[in-house]
Amino acid sequence: MKKDRGLRRVVVWLVAVCGVLLAGLAAPAATPVVVYSALENDEIAEYLKVARQDLPDLDIRVLRLSTGELAARVLAEKGNPQADVLWGVAATATIPLVREGILEPYAPKGAYKILRQFRDPKGYWTGIDLYVGAIAVNTVELTKRRLPVPRTWNDLLNPQYKGLVIMPNPLTSGTGFLHVVAVLTKFGEQRGWQYLAELDRNIAQYTRSGGAPARMAAQGEIPIALSFDFAVLSFKQQGFPVELVWPDGTGYELEVNALIKGARSPDAAKRFLDWAISLNAMRAYARWKMGVTMPGVTAGPHVPQLHTVPLLKVDFQWAAEHRQRILDEWKRRFTR
């Protein structure tokens, strides 16, 4: 009897050990991939639902930063990169990183499906979508003040709006840089800087992020805000009294993905980049964005159609090449 009990204990122990081993074989530890992104937190959360379903064996860790802060962090980490991938970062902030030797060429699977003008010919970055500059107007607050809705760039210079306008700081925000480039593109550099100086007289605050002005306008903290399409539409859909206005000559930015040179998990990073331009990913982006870079994928029903917006002809390469000069000039003129 004692021998039987002892044998039974051994068998139970062996079964338990085998169970643990089999469980480990059945569910191996997920491979980590560290992603730096300038996408908004709300959209990141939605996109990750799709990514984790399509890539269940990857442990996708996303750090969200404003564009300027993200670029500065990647530069600071050049000798010891902490991220594997850039996801949804402004092209004008990403292109300079190529010159710094921070990115490694990689053409994701299916990259040929992306329109040629939205991908780097040497494979350093691949575009996924466009975000569009917009004016957010709180109609209730303007009505209280008996003020009209500004519809054009020149409208924003009206002295009646003094202290009633906010915009993102281009030193930290990609959206802020987008608006500065839009003004310089529309008016030319000489008149463009004059315009920004005149606009500065009406500016109450320069915010760190591009989404903050939309939130502040939606919540009635300020009646007029320069922001971007997704942020304004998000608050409008939630029922806030905010109107989306496209200025006459609207700027926009291309958001791109890239592989960081010296990535700690290069294979996982490449798999994430493959997914990030897949049809599933593009359909997810299109629920939030007015335009994606894969032909045939259209915006969601609640998103305005891109062809209805008076877009400027933005030269991303020029904006990227002159980015630091433009930022230095803006800082010299407007830092308070």
CATH number at residue 227: 3.40.190.10
- Whether residue 136 is found in the same domain as residue 122: no
- Whether residue 115 is found in the same domain as residue 257: yes
What does the pLDDT read at residue 269? 98
Q: Specify whether the CB–CB gap between 248 and 156 falls below 8 A.
A: no
- Whether residue 154 is found in the same domain as residue 264: no
What does the pLDDT read at residue 16? 47
Q: Which domain holds residue 143?
A: 132-252+323-334
Task: Classify residue 310: in a domain, yes or no.
Answer: no
- Whether residue 236 is found in the same domain as residue 87: no
Task: Classify residue 142: in a domain, yes or no.
Answer: yes
What does the pLDDT read at residue 8? 54
What does the pLDDT read at residue 23? 44
- Whether residue 235 is found in the same domain as residue 295: no
- Whether residue 268 is found in the same domain as residue 241: no
Q: How far apart are CA 183 and CA 173, in angstroms?
A: 16
Task: Classify residue 289: in a domain, yes or no.
Answer: yes
CA–CA distances in Å: residue 300 to residues 49, 161, 262: 18, 34, 37
- Whether residue 53 is found in the same domain as residue 199: no
Task: Classify residue 15: in a domain, yes or no.
Answer: no
Rounded to two decimals, what is the model's pTM? 0.84
Cβ contacts of 59 within 8 Å, gap of 6 or more: 29, 30, 31, 32, 33
What does the pLDDT read at residue 18? 47
- Whether residue 187 is found in the same domain as residue 213: yes
Q: How many domains does the chain have?
A: 2
88: tokens are: 């949804």
**pLDDT tens track for 236-250:** 989 999 999 999 999
Q: Which segments of the chain have a pLDDT < 50?
A: 1-3, 7, 10-26
- Whether residue 154 is found in the same domain as residue 201: yes
- Whether residue 160 is found in the same domain as residue 38: no
- Whether residue 295 is found in the same domain as residue 216: no
What does the pLDDT read at residue 9? 52
Task: Classify residue 6: in a domain, yes or no.
Answer: no
Task: Classify residue 121: in a domain, yes or no.
Answer: yes
What does the pLDDT read at residue 230? 87
What does the pLDDT read at residue 28? 63
Q: Is 285 left (phi over 0), alpha (psi -120 to 50) or beta?
A: alpha
Task: Classify residue 54: in a domain, yes or no.
Answer: yes
Element counts in the chain: helices (H) and strands (E)? 13, 11
**CA atoms lying within 13 Å on the CB side of residue 93:** 33
- Whether residue 146 is found in the same domain as residue 246: yes
